């Protein structure tokens, strides 16, 4: 590793040089900041220790210039100012850390150790380009339908839990269709008041309602020639559903307050996280509209059913987050990604994306390890993660001790725990317990004897 120090105080330079050399770092020191940018470009150091208040240069401006370099080093600001505004500004501009004078030698060593770890640890963001969605078998089936849908102009209905990426799939269909050079207009039907939804979709004429001081084009006209994506279609009021059905049948819209129809050429893709068939039975959704919208139907699986896609998704979101924050390195260790695969993510891809962006924002270029992930989970979610981690450690410990029959030993222990717990809930009733366990009552009897299980008396 190489480092350069820019500080006008001779004592500081000498101390820094001594500390860094003891850490095995090649170091050069400078009292002037006038040539700092040129020196950094020529020497290409891994770390720059930069004083904010150099006599011939503004440390903050130098920081701004250094972090804008393509292969920029990690910049650690050293300063006699300990006011929070200097600290905030330095971190905002991209400093790796901020150390006030008189500085703690251990703090310098700690920062060096962190940067050394960053340079040595391989994270998933180093592993090449990620697939936009995933490579699991269930997603391959989704892609097949996307391809067929892209070759057609028929309406598409995308279903799936909240956060599964329905808009991403809609954009993918548009991207590969013959309308890709035309507009893609997305509208969330659940976010618009019911009294305004028709005006939003179909436009309105001047004077059509209070506040309509001019005519306005609706989303369908804005999407003419392209694609309109109607998210949360289940939230569309029945009256608007009737008008949407006519648009799909006739390909013409009538602005609110007008008697004239306007022809449009729009591909409609709708999405919902609700059961439309159930809503039809409750008279909350038109059956004829459902069949018109679902000519092609795509059901997106929840993330818990495609966990093999988590590494690629983490990689994709990491790269996005690093780019957003102007960081050149950082991300999740392989062990951290394995931990994420243990969690079911009820919020699906959206929850995973938010977690990745949050952790990158907090820890920036530091490697994100399993312990940092656990800090973000609520206690009950940590339990879900921890028992699997504990099982892994148990396997490792038994293996390291040269124990045999590891599979049988652990399976029997797990069986005993599960059966004992269920018997507690059923107050020792084996017939009832067998129903919950999904095994024959004779098997339960046999396991109770073999594993010396105590029949519970209830909780």
Residues 341 and 294 in one domain: no
Question: How far apart are the C-alpha atoms of 330 and 311, rounded to whole Å?
Answer: 15
Range of the domain at 361: 306-400
For the chain, residues with pLDDT lower than 70 are 82-84, 121-133, 378-390, 455-459
Report pLDDT for 127.
39
In a domain, 457, yes or no: no
Residues 221 and 368 in one domain: no
Q: Which of 303, 336, 369 is the last residue of a domain?
A: 303
pLDDT, tens digit, 9 for 90 and up, residues 388-441: 666 777 787 788 878 888 888 888 888 888 888 888 888 888 888 888 888 888
Confidence (pTM)? 0.62
Report pLDDT for 277.
94
Residues 388 and 437 in one domain: no
Residues 202 and 171 in one domain: yes
In a domain, 126, yes or no: no
Residues 334 and 244 in one domain: no
Q: Which of 278, 303, 328 is the last residue of a domain?
A: 303
In a domain, 132, yes or no: no
Report pLDDT for 130.
36
In a domain, 456, yes or no: no
Report pLDDT for 385.
60
Report pLDDT for 263.
94
Report pLDDT for 132.
53
Residues 254 and 372 in one domain: no
pLDDT, tens digit, 9 for 90 and up, residues 89-114: 888 788 888 888 877 888 889 889 88
Residues 105 and 18 in one domain: yes
Structural domain count of the chain = 4
Report pLDDT for 387.
64
Residues 142 and 246 in one domain: yes
Question: Which residues have C-beta within 8 Å of that of residue 284, sequence separation ≥ 6?
Answer: 234, 238
Nearest to 161 by CA among 305, 41, 278, 50: 305
Report pLDDT for 235.
93
Residues 361 and 424 in one domain: no
């Amino acid at each position: 590793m190489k480092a350069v120090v820019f500080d006008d105080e001779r004592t500081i330079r000498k101390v820094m040089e001594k500390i860094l050399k003891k850490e095995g770092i090649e170091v050069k020191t400078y009292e002037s900041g006038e040539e700092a940018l040129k020196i950094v470009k020529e020497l290409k150091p891994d770390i720059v220790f930069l004083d904010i208040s150099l006599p011939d240069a503004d440390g903050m401006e130098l920081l701004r210039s250094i972090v804008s370099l393509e292969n920029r080093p990690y910049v650690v600001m050293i300063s006699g100012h300990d006011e929070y505004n200097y600290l905030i500004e330095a971190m905002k501009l991209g400093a790796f850390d901020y150390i006030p004078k008189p500085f703690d030698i251990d703090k310098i060593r700690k920062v060096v150790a962190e940067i050394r770890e960053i340079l040595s640890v391989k994270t998933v963001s180093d592993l090449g380009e990620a697939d936009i969605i995933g490579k699991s078998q269930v997603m391959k089936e989704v892609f097949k339908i996307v391809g067929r849908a892209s070759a057609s102009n028929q309406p598409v209905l995308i279903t799936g839990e909240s956060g599964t990426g329905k808009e991403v799939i809609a954009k993918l269909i548009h991207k590969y269709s013959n309308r890709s050079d035309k507009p893609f207009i997305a509208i969330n039907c659940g976010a618009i008041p019911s009294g305004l939804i028709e005006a939003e979709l179909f436009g309105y004429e001047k004077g059509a309602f209070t506040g309509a001081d001019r005519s306005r084009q609706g989303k369908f006209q804005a999407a003419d020639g392209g694609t309109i994506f109607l998210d949360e279609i289940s939230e569309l009021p029945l009256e608007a559903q009737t008008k949407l059905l006519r648009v799909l049948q006739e390909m013409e819209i009538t602005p609110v307050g007008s008697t004239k129809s306007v022809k449009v050429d729009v591909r409609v893709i709708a999405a919902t996280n609700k059961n439309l068939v159930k809503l039809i039975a409750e008279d909350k959704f038109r059956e004829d509209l459902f069949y018109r919208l679902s000519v092609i139907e795509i059901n997106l699986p929840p993330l818990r059913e495609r966990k093999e896609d988590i590494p690629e998704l983490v990689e994709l979101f990491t790269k996005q987050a690093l780019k957003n924050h102007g960081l050149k390195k950082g991300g999740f260790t392989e062990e951290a990604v394995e931990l994420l695969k243990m969690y079911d993510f009820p919020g699906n891809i959206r929850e995973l994306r938010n977690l990745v962006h949050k952790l990158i924002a907090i820890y920036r270029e530091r490697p994100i390890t399993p312990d940092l992930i656990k800090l973000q989970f609520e206690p009950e979610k940590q339990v879900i993660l921890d028992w699997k981690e504990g099982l892994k450690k148990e396997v490792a410990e038994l293996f390291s001790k040269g124990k045999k029959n590891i599979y049988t030993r652990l399976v029997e222990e797990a069986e005993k725990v599960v059966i004992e717990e269920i018997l507690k809930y059923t107050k020792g009733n084996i017939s009832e317990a067998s129903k919950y366990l999904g095994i024959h009552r004779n098997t339960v009897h046999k396991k109770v004897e073999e594993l010396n299980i105590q029949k519970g008396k209830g909780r």
